[in-house]
Amino acid sequence: MPRLIGAHTIDSGGIAMAARRAGNAGMTALQVFSAVPKYYNEKVGVKPERVRAFHDALAEAGIAREAVIVHAGYVLNSATPEAEKWERAATALAKELERSTALEARGVCFHPGAATDGDREAALDRVAAAMVRALEHVPHGRTKLLVENSAGAGTTVGKTAAEVGGILARLPASLRARAGYGLDTCHLYASGYDLRASEAACRAVLDEFEAAAGASPDFLHLNDSQGALGSNKDRHMLLGEGEIGAEPFAWLVRDPRTRAIPLILETPQSDVPQADDDARADPCDLRMMALLRGFERDDAAPS
Ligand SMILES: [Zn+2]
Ligand SMILES: [Zn+2]
């Protein structure tokens, strides 16, 4: 079985076109938005014909629904101490899970947000409360609600294993199975996890999150980092062109915990605007896929 490697591909023309571009890049995983990510979209549903078109495109591309991650909107701040803002974020998160469940994605990931008043523990309580609201809003379905680790800029929470684990630990046991987390390599590095140090150090980072959350991650975002170690800067770069370098991504692809989860690139794509009906793969995505499939082959080769 090839690993589930893909990208958040360009979605001009809609998410069915994003799936076609992924297929044309040889991807076996995909990330999409289920609505425009700069809005709350708390009233936006997903029409059955759009679901059907997406599923048809996935099937044609050879991408399993279990290899699809939906990325929630960026504006949601479920950690906020402002009651009105929290209410809106929690409602929007529930709607994200509803749309992602309709798309039969493996999971929907979200940024936990910021503790703008500086009280991080209370912020973790509020993130968990928003997750409970979402999971209760969608009582059935297999799509998981996934916390993404943050780069740690400002007062954003979820920047350490303890915080990500802390959010999940606050969920009632009955809902915990439908929740999880994913790790963005740029965010890890920017928040001080030195993935570059050695293969053992890289493995130890996954160990730390596994110990804190009681489970291994449900996806990885594979991004190199423009910012230095501990810089808290969230700026993605092509693998091998940032501070992390290419080799740690080979180590990650080799880790048994990444064998059956979506490994999603969120690296820069070519600036050339793509027409709605143009399903060609992005050249940068193709380069990144070749690099990652090379790591996969090296791992499979007998040594
Ligand atoms: Zn993200
Ligand atoms: Zn990022």
The residue among 101, 93, 197 whose CA lies nearest residue 147 is: 93
Ligand 1 center from residue 112 Cα (angstroms): 10
Taking the centre of ligand 2 as the mean of its atom positions, its distance from the CA of residue 171, in whole angstroms, is 25
Tell me which residue of 181, 155, 188 sits closest to 167, measured CA to CA. 181
Tell me, yes or no, whether 160 lies in a domain: yes
Answer whether residue 207 shows pLDDT above 90.
yes
> Which ligand has the nearest atom to the CA of 37?
1
Spatial neighbors of 178 by CB under 8 A, at least 6 apart, are: 135, 142, 143, 144, 145
* pLDDT of 1 over the 80 cut: no
Residue 172 pLDDT exceeds 90: yes
Give per-residue pLDDT as tens, 118-132: 999 999 999 999 999
Return the DSSP state at 107: E
For the CA of 108, the nearest ligand: 1
Q: How far is the CA of 108 from the centre of ligand 1 (A)?
A: 10
CA–CA separation, 164 vs 150, rounded Å?
9
303 part of a folded domain: no
Q: Which ligand is nearest to the CA of 237?
A: 2
Query: Which residues have C-beta under 5 Å from ligand 1, the single-atom ion?
Result: 148
Range of the domain at 45: 5-298
Q: For residue 149, report the distance from its CA to the centre of ligand 1, in Å.
A: 8
Instruction: Write down the pLDDT at residue 214.
Output: 97
Measured CA to CA, the distance from residue 157 to residue 180 in angstroms comes to 16
Give domain status of residue 60, yes or no.
yes
Calpha distance 156→118 (Å, rounded)? 9
Report the pLDDT value the prediction gives residue 270, as an integer from 0 to 100: 93
Cβ pair 107, 100 in contact under 8 A = yes
Share the mean pLDDT of the chain.
97
Q: Is residue 196 part of a domain?
A: yes
* 46 inside domain: yes
CATH number at residue 68: 3.20.20.150
Asked if the structure places residue 291 within a domain, the reply is: yes
Distance CA 195, CA 182 (A): 16
State the distance from the centre of ligand 1 to the C-alpha of 61, rounded, in angstroms. Answer: 24
Residue 273 DSSP symbol: -
Shortest-distance ligand to the CA of residue 110: 1
pLDDT score recorded for residue 299: 85
Higher pLDDT, 142 or 300: 142
Instruction: Find the ligand nearest to 225 CA.
Output: 2
Residue 247 domain-assigned (yes or no): yes
Ligand 2 centroid to Cα of residue 140, in Å, is 30
Structure tokens at 102: 């309709």
Q: State yes or no: pLDDT of 302 exceeds 80.
A: no
Q: How far is CA 174 from the centre of its chain?
A: 23
pLDDT, one tens digit per residue, over 235-277 is 999 999 999 999 999 999 999 999 999 999 999 999 888 999 9
**CA 89 to CA 87: how far, in whole Å?**
6
Nearest to 269 by CA among 5, 4, 3, 7: 7
With contact defined as beta carbons under 8 Å apart, do 273 and 261 qualify?
no
Ligand nearest to the CA of 69: 1
**Is 303's pLDDT higher than 70?**
no
**Pairwise CA distance, residues 89 & 130, whole Å:** 8
Q: What is the CA(185)–ligand 2 centre distance, in A?
A: 9
Q: CA–CA distance from 109 to each of 36, 203, 272 (Å)?
A: 15, 22, 28
Instruction: Give the tokens for residue 100.
Output: 């992602």
CA 233–ligand 2 middle distance (angstroms): 9
Q: Which ligand is nearest to the CA of 111?
A: 1
Residue 266 Cα to ligand 2 midpoint, Å, equals 8
Model pLDDT, residue 2: 86
Ligand 1 centre and the CA of 151: distance in Å?
10
Overall number of domains in the chain: 1
**pLDDT class of 109 with cuts at 50, 70, 90:** very high
